[in-house]
């Protein structure tokens, strides 16, 4: 018996069958599993514009495997387009909408299994949250990274050659004509942005969790092998349905620890902490910041993709992809089932590593620890996160004076006008999940700092978050956030702040008596948004230290 029999079998379901027949469904489909193919196709996002083609290949795979496919859609936001203005407030909250929408459609129509076609920053985690929540047979297809842009023999990528180029233009290093050329050539076609930014990091995490087929995360969007992976994903889903293998059977504690280990080896986006904790929450796996930091200390950083290095996702794909990374980590990963029908260790053992610099041996790692580090201290009692693989050696320990801003816009204006200089610690607060609301990414100010040549002399801390494209000593997710009265709300201009990444410390060098006086005098500001979805989100969302999930969810 299938779940979908509740809507299609029995005399009393004649009206339901009549409506299904109205869609064009053939009578033979009544005996097939009903499979939902949820797609985030949109013309607004380059990572998603090629999905119409992949949808057809997934459908072919589902039908080949003996299922009947029904398509439905969820929205997608392009973080790059939403960046640097009020639109970014909606990006993280859209993750919860996506999960809720999938839950509503699947439960209302009693579907038997799911193929999820996704690609970008919040869409992939939103879909995986729904997979954990619904606990049905599920396969995820990430639509693939974009190829690098080119000017002659020079390869281009979005962050380095547009966002950081803005800072270089402001500093007088490049002309308007050069900037215009970069923006035209940096993104040559469909796919998620070329480096190990959040979209591609989450695609890698999906494969490492065992929720997508081997090779899916890194296969470029425009390649024929992406079509084959899409077809095979439909076939694989039907095997899961027949064998009763559900999402939580794959997304267990071992799967999350494997994914974190791959993340640390790659040096992925800081956003993975938020998203993996949120996915684990829906999959009923207890996952905290301490696990991330423990695994980071145990796992060498063996890859340097942009923004930390010069390689791109297409290079990782050619070098061996996520199976190659798993092969390097074979002794430390835990065997676990995958949607491919084989264990994760079998996938790792069968991998080939083609380029030993893109995926380095453990004994020749770029860094002895993983790409991310979790910091604690009197400035972040609930923790904070930094992409240590993208921080220069000279900035791993830093002490400077605070420059405080209560919004991203105020900080950006100061940075681009020359109001921030060497020795400063830029503090951007009231941009957390509640205070933003929506916990905006800070790619514009961090890229401006890099482009203006300040990344080795200026640090930035925030209760907001960073794009996976961020590099330099940029510390996000500071918890508790300012809107909750966290210590970040008590900082004043000129206070000394100490960052010690190897020691995992983030300290405000102000004595406790003075902080107590400031705390007693602190009054929360008026909310920045008082109506609509964001106001409701601010009332429901929890701290970044717990994945910014909904209370009671």
Catalytically active residues, by annotation? 467
At 270, is the secondary structure helix, strand, or coil?
coil
Rounded CA-CA distance 319/325 in Å is 9
Q: What is the DSSP string of 398-463?
A: EEEEEEEESSHHHHHHHHHTT---TTEEEEE-S-STTTTTS--B-HHHHHHHHHTT-TTT-EEEES
Q: Which of 249, 471, 447 is nearest to 343 (CA)?
A: 249
What angle do the packed helices 198-209 and 123-134 form, to 10 degrees?
A: 30
Instruction: Judge contact between 394 and 279, C-beta under 8 A.
Output: no
Q: Which of 328, 498, 321, 307 is nearest to 388 (CA)?
A: 307
Q: Is the peptide bond before 480 cis (omega within 30 degrees of 0)?
A: yes
Q: What is the DSSP string of 113-156?
A: EEEEEE-STTHHHHHHHHHHHH---EEEEE--BPPPEEETTEEE
What are residue 401's phi and psi, to 5 degrees? -100, 145
Assigned token pair, 67 = 């299922």
Q: Which residues pair with 462 in a beta bridge?
A: 428
Q: Which of 409, 408, 3, 371 is nearest to 205 (CA)?
A: 371
End-to-end CA distance of the chain: 30
Q: Which of 133, 139, 128 is nearest to 201 (CA)?
A: 128
How many other β-carbons are positioned within 10 Å of the β-carbon of residue 259? Answer: 28
Rounded CA-CA distance 200/467 in Å is 12
Q: Which of 460, 469, 482, 467 is nearest to 412 (CA)?
A: 460
Rounded CA-CA distance 431/403 in Å is 15
Which residues lie closer than 8 Å to 222 by C-beta, 6 or more apart? Answer: 50, 144, 147, 189, 190, 191
Instruction: Judge contact between 454 and 403, C-beta under 8 A.
Output: no
Instruction: Judge contact between 441 and 419, C-beta under 8 A.
Output: no
**Tokens 């979209």, residue located:** 199
**Tokens 């951007």, residue located:** 428
Which residues lie closer than 8 Å to 517 by C-beta, 6 or more apart? Answer: none
Instruction: Tell me the Cα Rg of the chain.
Output: 23
How many other β-carbons are positioned within 10 Å of the β-carbon of residue 31? Answer: 12
């Amino acid at each position: 018996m299938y779940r979908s029999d509740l809507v299609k079998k029995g005399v009393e379901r004649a009206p339901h069958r009549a409506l299904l027949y109205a869609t064009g469904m053939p009578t033979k489909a009544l005996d097939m599993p009903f499979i939902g193919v949820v797609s985030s196709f949109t013309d607004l996002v380059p990572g998603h514009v090629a999905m119409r083609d992949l949808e057809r290949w997934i459908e072919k795979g589902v039908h080949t495997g003996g299922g009947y496919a029904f398509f439905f859609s969820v929205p997608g936001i392009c973080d790059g387009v939403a960046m640097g203005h009020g639109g970014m407030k909606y990006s993280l909250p859209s993750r919860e909408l996506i999960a809720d929408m999938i839950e509503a459609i699947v439960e209302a129509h009693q579907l038997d299994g799911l193929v999820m076609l996704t690609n970008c920053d919040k869409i992939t985690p939103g879909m995986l949250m729904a997979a954990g929540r619904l606990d049905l047979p599920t396969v995820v297809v990430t639509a693939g990274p974009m190829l690098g842009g080119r000017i002659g023999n020079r390869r281009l990528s979005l962050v380095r050659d547009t966002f950081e180029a803005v800072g270089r233009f402001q500093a007088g290093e490049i002309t308007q004509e050069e900037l215009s050329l970069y923006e035209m050539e940096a993104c040559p076609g469909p796919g998620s942005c070329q480096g190990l930014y959040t979209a591609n990091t989450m695609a890698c995490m999906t494969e490492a969790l065992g929720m997508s087929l081997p090779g899916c995360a890194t296969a470029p969007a425009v390649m024929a092998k992406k079509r084959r992976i899409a077809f095979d994903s439909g076939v694989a889903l039907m095997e899961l349905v027949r064998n009763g293998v559900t999402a939580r059977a794959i997304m267990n504690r071992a799967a999350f620890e494997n994914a974190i280990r791959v993340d640390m080896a790659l040096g992925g986006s800081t956003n993975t902490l938020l998203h993996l904790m949120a996915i684990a929450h829906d999959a009923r796996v207890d996952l905290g910041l301490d696990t991330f930091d423990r695994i980071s200390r145990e796992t060498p950083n063996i890859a340097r993709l942009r923004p930390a290095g010069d390689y791109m996702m297409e290079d990782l794909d050619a070098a061996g992809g996520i199976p190659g990374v798993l092969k390097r980590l074979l002794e430390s990963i835990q065997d676990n089932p995958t949607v491919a029908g084989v264990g994760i260790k079998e996938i790792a053992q069968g991998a080939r590593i083609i380029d030993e610099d893109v995926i380095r041996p453990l004994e020749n790692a770029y860094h002895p620890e993983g790409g991310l580090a979790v910091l604690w201290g009197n400035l972040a009692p609930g923790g904070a996160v930094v992409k240590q693989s993208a921080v220069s050696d000279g900035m791993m320990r830093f002490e400077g004076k605070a420059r405080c801003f209560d919004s991203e816009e105020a900080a950006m204006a100061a940075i681009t006008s020359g109001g921030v200089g060497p020795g400063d610690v830029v503090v951007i607060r009231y941009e957390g999940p509640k205070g933003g609301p929506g916990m905006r990414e800070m790619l514009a100010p961090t890229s401006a700092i890099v482009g203006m040549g300040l990344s080795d002399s200026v640090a930035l801390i925030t209760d907001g978050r960073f794009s996976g494209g961020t590099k330099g000593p940029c510390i996000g997710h500071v918890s508790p956030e300012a809107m909750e009265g966290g210590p970040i709300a008590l900082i004043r201009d000129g206070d000394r702040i100490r960052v010690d990444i190897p020691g995992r410390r983030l300290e405000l060098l102000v004595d406790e008596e003075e902080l107590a006086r400031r705390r007693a005098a602190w009054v929360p500001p008026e909310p920045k948004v008082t109506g609509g979805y964001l106001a409701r989100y601010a009332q429901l969302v929890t701290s970044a230290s717990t994945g910014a999930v909904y209370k009671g969810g």
